[in-house]
Structure 1
């Protein structure tokens, strides 16, 4: 691809971004599903043990963001909002579950939280052309505004 910039709208870029959205989205879906299977009460108890305020409400929010946000990331729906919500969820996971732990350890390290949060944020703002957003009003290209006349 000599001399060709990889940018949104390029089939290769769109394909690679879609693969990344699927991979990261599936991880979020799996973490949300794990909380769904445990139940809100058990998730809330786990959050309470970490000092999360309003643990049952936080559990419901975590389930909605991880499971619903993971699905939204995969299909490419409301990508900037989805990316920010998933990244914020990972900030919360770091603050309440990993703060003060070393970066790379077998238990308690925050490398997964860091990778998921930054990937979700990046994909939220560079989601590619193979996204549901592209077909919704906020994702459609608008015609260029007419140029204003120059004043001499």
Structure 2
């Protein structure tokens, strides 16, 4: 189902993603982070749904459909390096900081920080080109809000 999307995502020179593809890629990244600790908790699913509904102005049906497609894509997607490279190329820096905040929101949805989630967030921040200071500030903002 996602063969063409994955082919474009992993091309040596990925092209700018259309909005729909960027939504799917970003949502799949949220799912990947939520699954990083080997558990995919209902609280994490609800948090992902809230993030994408708010970010993209989706109703419940559209939110469920996007997350469902993202869950499937995440299981089929290549390594995180190539996956995030395409997002980095498609999303402006300030929006990438917002992505990091959204990812931390998902990680902290179960009120636990797992070392696998932390490690993946450090990797993703780096791969998205978000510097350590901005990444740490994003985490701190999310911790204060939760």
Structure 2-normalised TM-score? 0.31
Higher helix share: 2
Give the structure, 1 or 2, with the largest relative contact order (CA under 8 Å, sep 6 or more).
2
Larger Rg: 1
When normalised by structure 1's length, the TM-score is 0.30
